[in-house]
Amino acid sequence: MTIDWKKEVEARKDDMLKDLVELLKVRSDREDDKATPDAPFGPGPKNALIHMLGYGERDGFITKNVDNYAGHIEYGEGDETLGLFCHMDVVPAGDGWDTDPYEPVIKDNKIYARGSSDDKGPSIAAYYGLKIIKELGLPLSKRIRIVVGTDEESGWGDMDYYFQHEEKPDFGFSPDAEFPIINGEKGNVTLRLHFEATNAGDFELVSFDSGLRVNMVPGSADAVIRLAGDISVEDLSAAYTDYLAANNLTGELVGEGDLVKINLIGKSAHGASPFAGVNAGTYLAAFLNQYPFGGGAKGFLDSAATYVHLDHYGEKLGVAHEDPRMGKLTMNAGLLKFGADLDDNFITLNFRYPTGVTADGMVKDIAATVADTGATVDREERDAAPHYVPMDDPLVANLLAVYEEHTGEKGYEQVIGGGTFGRLLERGVAYGAMFPGYTDTMHQANEFMSLDDLYRSAVIYADAIYRLAK
């Protein structure tokens, strides 16, 4: 049977776009302060999950909501299950948008909104791939289950809970990365440097706040300081103006009584690619570190400025490492928080690490390096080890064959620093929906997905799902 997958997608383009627009309107960033037993990650992720499952109910699929942690949309029968792993949660919008991030806008044949490329757009494309197979009544020998998560951008608590109640698929992919395929992912762990909330210098660091998530490059930073000695607000302002100009940055410094408020604007980016952003937190720390702070405040600023600033590979911390297949370890300082009223003063370091490195080893090495700053070091419990599915695995071979037939381009393997739900399965990969040469706007302001790529990926997903499950 020859199926014109492109024709089938063309016939459903309007419906696909309509469903995507409505899904993007559901704000779904995690809000722990609004979490309840019924909404474990806040109301937004729950609402987006229910909305996505509603499409499955509307179209006659079997659906299940697992206590608003996650859910699935299922079709077909068989002893094996093909899993497609999507997620409805998004990172916070942050600053710098030209449009409302939760009111989708289409311009220049692109749809702009938070979640358009990560991961609601690709999720809709994969869903319509399965929808086409169902509507054509194609014969299958396996079950197909679209697993819909709500906490991919944070702690993956959704999948922990889901797999306590549901069986794992046998193999599958996540439409949450790049074509032609991602069959390898670096390890992923977050370490924290902790500091005492003390000031012992002529200058006082009243507060320092930068970053929204550990897996985002901070796009802005704010500090409040109290001056002392011979340095005036005017002197500090002149020095700050020169610093911003020398580093091609923007910001503001305002004196209010005996306090000075300082803001610095950088550029947000995905934490897996820290070199694609401009870390506002470390830039501001580097400026302040030249002044006479003391105590825990000095340790905080010195650690950020001396051991983290402008180092994306952990070289200054003594943990740099490179693997021939997986490439270099990368590091992102995602959260920098200091204040006398805080329970914890810390810097988070999110590492994407290749084979040959361990999280415990990094804790030991970094603790020795930063000992002079007074920092203590620990790690988050979650530690995703490096993941790799060989090229000769039938899953990888089939997915690459589909890509090649529909694009005319040669497929090849890739290893990334980003962590996707593809690694949930021993035989799991990430597959699209970004095409080679695509502008990656995940976790950035003005996130978008090309409509041509939305429809093109749906064609590939439909064919791939059918080949893997027929």
**Catalytic residue IDs:** 89, 152
Contacts of 430 (CB under 8 A, 6+ apart): 173, 174, 175, 176, 177, 178, 181, 182, 185, 416, 420, 421, 422
Cα-based distances in Å from 200 to 165, 196, 299, 343: 52, 11, 11, 19
Measured distance CA(421)–CA(414) in Å, rounded: 16
CA neighbor of 134 nearest in space, from 48, 68, 211, 76: 76
Burial-class residue 94 by CB neighbours within 10 Å (0-12, 13-18, 19+): buried
Q: Are 53 and 149 in contact (CB under 8 A)?
A: no
| Amino acid sitting at position 289 | N
Q: Are 283 and 221 in contact (CB under 8 A)?
A: yes
Contacts of 445 (CB under 8 A, 6+ apart): 93, 94, 95, 96, 97, 98, 101, 219, 268
How many other CB atoms sit within 10 Å of the CB of residue 255?
Answer: 14
Kindly state the tokens that stand for 308. Answer: 């983290």
Cα-based distances in Å from 222 to 18, 83, 219, 265: 39, 43, 11, 9
Residue 373 per-residue DSSP state: G
